[in-house]
Amino acid sequence: MKTVANRMSHFLVMVGLLGMSSVSLAAQEYDNTRWTANVGGGFTVPEYNTGTRHDNGWNFNAGAGANFLSSHVGLMGEFMYNSLGVNSATLQTLQFPNGSTSIWAVSAEPVVRFNPHGQVDFYLVGGPGVYHRNVEFTQPTIAAFSAFDPFFGIFQVAVPANQVLLSYSTTKLGVNGGGGVSVHLGHSRAKIYAEARYHQMYTRTPTAFVPVTFGIRW
């Protein structure tokens, strides 16, 4: 099985080649922009001890920031949310029917861009943040509530639901780092991007995961 280092290095080499090759292209120059924002989503791969207890999940990311030095350097503030399912082996060991882990974080990250005014740009990003992890173990149940209809009157409705058997959360500092590639959409300011970052939350046993995110940046 490939380690997280191997996966990250392969991703960074790929986007690095794309970014470096763009320098030799006769790419159109784009106006400098002081402010930037992004939104995206994708899949999340748990790593190390986190990976032995979770399945792959999904992520959402949104941020805003400022550019400096002709957009070669930036500072971003970002919000991130990840959802991971507890795997079947762990559920069987703990004797719970279902389980999930959600992680959100707020972070501040310097960004270094190698070709910000070209058609294709490779960048590195990473920094510290505050991470909040919530773990829930649940079981399927049926919830009943009353409904009213002018013709039928008041009647009982039963719907599927999840009953929380155990829930606990923690907030800790953490750090992330990685890189990505962005491509201009035509002659507009908008770019599409793909990136991968390694995140580590400093829980008693570190919580480690790699969100791979695809999105749009202005």
DSSP per-residue letters across 35-97: EEEEEEEEEEEEEHHHHTTB--EEEEEEEEEEEETTTTEEEEEEEEEEEEEBPHHHHHHHT-S
pLDDT at 29: 44
Give every CB contact of residue 137 below 8 A, 6+ residues apart in sequence. 86, 91, 94, 96, 98, 99, 164, 165, 166, 167
On the question of pLDDT at 127 being above 60, the answer is yes
pLDDT category at 26 given cuts 50, 70, 90 is: very low
pLDDT tens string 49-87:
999 999 999 999 999 999 999 999 999 999 999 999 999
64 forms beta bridges with 37, 77
* Residue percentage of the chain with pLDDT more than 70: 85
Residue 152 CB contacts under 8 Å (≥ 6 apart), including other chains: none
Give the domain ranges of the chain: 4-137+165-217
Q: Provide the pLDDT for residue 21.
A: 44
Segment among 11-20, 115-124, 131-140, 208-217 with least mean pLDDT: 11-20
For 4-137+165-217, CATH gives 2.40.160.20
Asked if 160 and 194 touch (Cβ cutoff 8 Å), the reply is no
Specify the amino acid at residue 103.
Answer: I
Residue 27, burial from CB neighbour count under 10 angstroms (0-12, 13-18, 19+):
middle
Q: Is the pLDDT of residue 193 over 90?
A: yes
